[in-house]
């Protein structure tokens, strides 16, 4: 099966965005700064184009090297989406069957309980196998990641925890075995097959199945979590974080070995919007449908297909995967019906990748909806007819010089920050500190020289006009909300520094 090339137009991929999408970097930077993570890299894709990508912070707190969009992260369990897709393509080509027992292809497993686990059960984490083994301190870099012999020993001797199909039980060992299946069926190493069958045809030049010397030179450094502030205990690094060395993942590469960038990851999942040229339509549906539901008290409801997690956020079903590697946390979400994808990569073990990714999704979809662009039933609909005499809906990616831009800016006072931001053709009052940027946000309309929020009930100054003060050049210099003034954030910070220096 031949895959279509998906390399983006470099000029389009790096062009500045507007329509509210240029606000994304400010919001990401705020979230990253509040979390005090070393670095965050992100990318947003709409339809077939990377409309925003960027980076904040540093690759390594010891060197202070500025983080760029081409720096590579360990994206860990994102690897499962690649492995699952590679398996699906082998099934489509007739080289495998979903119900093949693993022992049919990995001969060392023949006759064992682990060998009876099927390809489909392994992909969907319903085979009942151990997650990482009896000794999993390789996740703390105390020992090397398992090689083939250690992996097989782990599943052959007490490797089953539940019966097949009894429970959803996430298993990196099962995906390691799937990597061995791919090698047995194709007759070549896992990384070679993945490069030739998926990465090269899709033009994912910054994505590799495992860390190598070339990638290591432009890979970020992972970092431990922030330490508690312990009186009398000095720390060498900021917030007590420690650098985490990069390592290879041995026989678990199919579960956690991949390296990539946010830009490549959104292009990777975009190939799964409709799967054209990638897998058969019925195969794509099988990969993406919910095979298991994980619903535990005091935890969000989670669902999983075959190599892809799903979650319903604000009524929208998103697909994707997270990644957790020593010192790095990553997350990619995509909505195939709306043709939107977001990826966020952090180089700290407590990095808020999922939180930022969901916030970016909220901002992007709000910008598209605010511009009159459909984000349902097939994605962007820029060719819709326009009523006679009406102005066409603006393109949230290319519009510049919008009349609402004269109201936008970041403002601050003793209580925090407030952003006036345009999302599509709508003006919003947003608190950039919130994990959900639309929580408590107000959609505004312009009424002469004041801004009016939509009428609703609430504890804040709901329904009260918002006044924007301007300087001699006509630029916003302050905003008054509920009678309280907030000044331009840079001016307020300068004044605060002067006051504390006295």
CA–CA distances in Å: residue 199 to residues 82, 209, 362, 441: 9, 9, 29, 41
DSSP one-letter code for 58: B
DSSP one-letter code for 216: H
Predicted TM-score (pTM) of the model is 0.89
pLDDT of residue 393: 34
Three-state secondary-structure class, residue 344? strand
Three-state secondary-structure class, residue 210? coil
CA–CA distances in Å: residue 241 to residues 27, 56, 63, 213, 475: 24, 18, 14, 25, 41
In this predicted model, what pLDDT tens digit does every residue of 124-134 receive, in sequence order? 999 999 999 99
Radius of gyration of the chain (CA): 25
Question: Domain count of the chain?
Answer: 1
pLDDT of residue 230: 56
The model's confidence at residue 229, banded by pLDDT at 50, 70 and 90, is low
Average pLDDT, integer, range 252-277:
97
The Cα–Cα gap between 268 and 82 comes to 9
Query: In CATH, what number is assigned to the domain containing residue 484?
Result: 2.40.128
Residue 334 falls inside a structural domain:
no
Residue 440 falls inside a structural domain:
yes
The model's confidence at residue 214, banded by pLDDT at 50, 70 and 90, is confident
pLDDT of residue 372: 58
Residue 466 falls inside a structural domain:
yes
Better-predicted residue by pLDDT, 122 or 230: 122
Residue 134 falls inside a structural domain:
no
- Dihedral angle computed from the Cα positions of residues 486, 492, 493 and 497, in that order, rounded to the nearest 10 degrees: -130
Domain holding 485, by residue range, is 403-501
In this predicted model, what pLDDT tens digit does every residue of 57-88 receive, in sequence order? 999 999 999 999 999 999 999 999 999 999 99
Better-predicted residue by pLDDT, 98 or 393: 98
Report phi then psi at 489, rounded to 5: -60, -40
H or E element, residue 320: strand 316-325
pLDDT of residue 498: 87
Residue 293 falls inside a structural domain:
no
Residue 19 has pLDDT above 70, yes or no: no
The HSE-up count of residue 347 (CA atoms within 13 Å, CB side) is 33
The model's confidence at residue 10, banded by pLDDT at 50, 70 and 90, is very low
Residue 152 falls inside a structural domain:
no
Residue 374 has pLDDT above 60, yes or no: no
Residue 300 has pLDDT above 80, yes or no: yes
The model's confidence at residue 501, banded by pLDDT at 50, 70 and 90, is confident
Mean pLDDT in the chain? 89
The model's confidence at residue 413, banded by pLDDT at 50, 70 and 90, is very high
Of 269, 251, 271, 250, whose CA–CA distance to 260 is shortest? 269
pLDDT of residue 7: 37
| Token pair in block for residue 411 | 């403002």
Which DSSP string corresponds to 407-423?
G-EEEEETTEEEEEEEE
pLDDT of residue 126: 97
Which DSSP string corresponds to 97-122?
-TT-BGGGTSGGGTTSHHHHSBHHHH
Average pLDDT, integer, range 293-311:
93
Residue 493 falls inside a structural domain:
yes
The model's confidence at residue 373, banded by pLDDT at 50, 70 and 90, is low
pLDDT of residue 403: 93
pLDDT of residue 236: 53
pLDDT of residue 3: 54
pLDDT of residue 233: 55
Residue 416 falls inside a structural domain:
yes
Average pLDDT, integer, range 483-491:
95
The model's confidence at residue 502, banded by pLDDT at 50, 70 and 90, is confident
The model's confidence at residue 51, banded by pLDDT at 50, 70 and 90, is very high
């Amino acid at each position: 099966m031949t895959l279509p090339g998906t390399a983006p137009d470099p000029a389009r991929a790096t062009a500045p965005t507007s329509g509210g999408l240029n606000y994304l970097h400010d919001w990401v930077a705020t979230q990253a700064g509040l979390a005090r993570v070393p670095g965050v890299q992100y990318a947003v894709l709409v339809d077939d184009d990377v409309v925003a990508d960027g980076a904040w912070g540093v690759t390594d707190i010891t060197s202070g090297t500025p983080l760029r969009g081409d720096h590579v992260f360990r994206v860990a369990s994102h690897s499962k989406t690649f492995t699952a897709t590679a398996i699906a393509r082998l099934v489509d080509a007739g080289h495998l069957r979903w119900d093949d027992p693993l022992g049919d292809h990995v001969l060392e497993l023949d006759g064992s309980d682990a060998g009876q686990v099927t390809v489909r059960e392994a992909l969907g984490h319903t085979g009942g196998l151990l997650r990482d083994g009896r000794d999993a301190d390789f996740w703390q870099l105390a020992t090397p990641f398992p090689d083939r012999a250690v992996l097989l020993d782990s599943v052959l001797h007490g490797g089953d925890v539940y019966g097949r199909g009894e429970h959803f039980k996430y298993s990196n060992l099962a995906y390691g075995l799937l990597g061995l299946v791919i090698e047995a069926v194709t007759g070549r190493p896992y990384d070679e097959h993945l490069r030739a069958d998926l990465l090269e045809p899709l033009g994912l030049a910054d994505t590799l199945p495992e860390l190598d010397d070339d990638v290591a030179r432009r890979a970020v450094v992972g970092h431990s979590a922030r330490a508690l502030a312990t009186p009398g205990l000095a720390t060498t690094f900021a917030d007590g974080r420690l650098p985490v060395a990069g390592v290879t993942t041995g026989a678990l590469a199919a579960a956690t070995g991949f390296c990539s960038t946010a830009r490549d990851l959104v292009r990777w999942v975009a190939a799964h919007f409709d799967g054209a040229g990638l897998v058969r339509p019925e195969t794509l549906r099988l990969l993406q449908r919910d095979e298991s539901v994980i619903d535990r008290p005091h935890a969000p409801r989670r669902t999983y297909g075959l190599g892809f997690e799903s979650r319903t956020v604000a009524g929208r079903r998103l697909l994707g995967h997270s990644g957790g590697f020593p010192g790095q946390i990553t997350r990619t979400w995509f909505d195939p019906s709306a043709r939107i994808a977001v990826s966020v990569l952090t180089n700290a073990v407590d990095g808020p990748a999922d939180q930022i990714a969901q916030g970016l999704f909220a901002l992007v979809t709000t910008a598209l909806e605010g511009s009159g662009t459909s984000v349902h039933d097939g994605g962007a609909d820029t060719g819709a007819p326009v009523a006679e005499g009406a102005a066409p809906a603006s393109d949230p990616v290319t519009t510049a010089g919008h009349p609402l831009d004269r109201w936008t800016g970041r403002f601050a006072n003793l209580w925090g920050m407030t952003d006036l931001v345009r999302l599509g053709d709508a003006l919003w009052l947003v608190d950039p500190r919130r994990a959900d940027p639309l929580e408590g946000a107000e959609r505004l309309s312009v009424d002469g020289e004041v801004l009016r929020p939509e009428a609703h009930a609430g504890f804040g100054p709901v329904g009260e006009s918002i006044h924007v003060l301007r300087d001699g050049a006509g630029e916003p210099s302050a905003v008054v909300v509920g009678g309280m003034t907030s000044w331009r954030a840079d001016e307020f910070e300068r004044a605060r520094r002067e006051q504390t220096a006295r």
